[in-house]
């Protein structure tokens, strides 16, 4: 069990902020440890069923990333038999003609069995005018009909105010989705931590593969760069997307500092002042 908990905490450390969600996950982990001890004593213990959830927040606040990590975490804890996360939006579920939406939605649910079905922008499945019959509502009802079976965990995600409309308008939704997590806009410090995490975990598919942060790029330094070089509106609208922009700009600024002479690369490791360059990266060779 200790190995599981170490792996669990390692994955959990990749989530910036979201204290409420982390607290809930640690609570589940503790409950499972207690269940294992009960079984070791010969007591009969039923299997726990994970709840369906709603992630409420602006774009870029990490809802999709957390859903992917959640698949790993729940699998590590043996709550789910697999760590797969099937991500869908309205266009993946809703068909153009009558009778096709249910079939398309069921295919996605079956694909997600044993793992998580992550429905992004879930509010788009419910029309603003409930008197208007929309195929999106058919998809939503199809998903809810499978939620009581325990074969798949469903996470609905979207803007807070638009998701609240869905929750308040649909009694079946309120009954089945028992855990709501709010994803607040990231602070400058949160964004700085995310940037460092991205740089420490980038793989070969990342455009930043083979690069590392300059030692001067501490969390306080990066956070101050964000404060100085972006407006509150930009931070709220972009959230984690701002980090990707910073890293792209940082690499471009690094390329501008590099001189080519007789086939050799010469590096200027002194970071240039300014928003884009404070989060500079150095090429590793």
Query: What string of DSSP letters covers 257-280?
Result: H-EEETTEEE---SPPSSHHHHT-
Q: Could you tell me if 96 and 209 lie in one domain?
A: no
Q: Could you tell me if 3 and 116 lie in one domain?
A: yes
Residue 150 confidence (pLDDT)? 86
277 located within any domain: no
Residue 233 confidence (pLDDT)? 81
Residue 130 confidence (pLDDT)? 60
Q: Encoding tokens for residue 7?
A: 């792996």
280 located within any domain: no
What is the domain range of residue 178?
A: 1-182
Which of these three, 159, 182, 205, is where a domain ends? 182
Q: What is the pLDDT of residues 222-275, one digit of tens each?
A: 899 889 888 888 888 889 888 888 888 887 877 777 654 444 444 444 343 333
pLDDT over 70 at 276, yes or no: no
Residue 2 confidence (pLDDT)? 72
User: Under 8 Å CB-to-CB from 248, ≥6 apart: which residues?
Assistant: 207
Q: Could you tell me if 134 and 251 lie in one domain?
A: no
Residue 196 confidence (pLDDT)? 86
Q: C-alpha dihedral over 129, 133, 139, 143, to 10 degrees?
A: 70
Residue 76 confidence (pLDDT)? 84
Q: What is the pLDDT of residues 102-147, one digit of tens each?
A: 999 999 999 999 999 999 999 999 877 665 678 898 999 999 999 9
Cα–Cα distance measured from residue 249 to residue 279, given in angstroms and rounded to the nearest whole number? 9
250 located within any domain: yes
Q: Could you tell me if 103 and 42 lie in one domain?
A: yes
pLDDT over 50 at 283, yes or no: no
Cα–Cα distance measured from residue 103 to residue 97, given in angstroms and rounded to the nearest whole number? 11
Q: Looking at mean pLDDT, say which of 19-23, 71-75, 203-207 comes out highest.
A: 71-75
Residue 108 confidence (pLDDT)? 97
Cα–Cα distance measured from residue 210 to residue 65, given in angstroms and rounded to the nearest whole number? 22
Residue 110 confidence (pLDDT)? 96
pTM over 0.75: yes
25-39, 200-214, 233-247: least confident range:
200-214
């Amino acid at each position: 069990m200790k190995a599981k908990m170490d792996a669990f905490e390692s994955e959990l450390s990749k989530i910036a902020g979201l204290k409420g969600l982390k607290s809930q996950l640690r609570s589940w982990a503790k409950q499972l440890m207690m269940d294992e001890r009960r079984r070791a004593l010969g007591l009969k213990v039923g299997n726990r069923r994970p709840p369906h959830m709603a992630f409420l927040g602006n774009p870029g606040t990490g809802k999709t990333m957390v859903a992917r990590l959640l698949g790993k975490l729940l699998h590590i804890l043996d709550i789910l038999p697999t760590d797969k996360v099937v991500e869908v939006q309205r266009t993946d579920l809703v068909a153009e003609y009558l009778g096709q939406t249910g079939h398309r939605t069921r295919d996605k649910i079956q694909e997600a069995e044993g793992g998580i079905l992550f429905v992004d922008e879930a509010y788009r499945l419910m029309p603003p005018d409930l008197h208007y019959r929309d195929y999106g509502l058919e998809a939503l009802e199809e998903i809810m009909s499978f939620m009581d079976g325990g074969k798949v965990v469903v996470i609905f995600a979207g803007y807070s105010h638009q998701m609240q409309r869905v929750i308040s308008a649909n009694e079946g939704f309120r009954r089945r989705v028992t855990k709501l997590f709010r994803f607040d806009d990231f602070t400058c410090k949160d964004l700085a931590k995310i940037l460092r995490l991205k740089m420490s975990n980038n793989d070969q598919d990342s455009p930043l593969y083979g690069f590392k942060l300059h030692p001067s790029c501490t969390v306080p330094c990066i956070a101050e760069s964000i404060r100085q070089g972006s407006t509150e509106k930009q931070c709220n609208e972009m959230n984690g997307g701002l980090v990707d922009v910073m890293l792209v700009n940082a690499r471009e600024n690094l390329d501008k500092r590099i001189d080519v002479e007789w086939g050799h690369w010469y590096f200027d490791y002194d970071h240039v002042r300014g928003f884009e360059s404070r989060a500079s990266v150095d090429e590793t060779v």
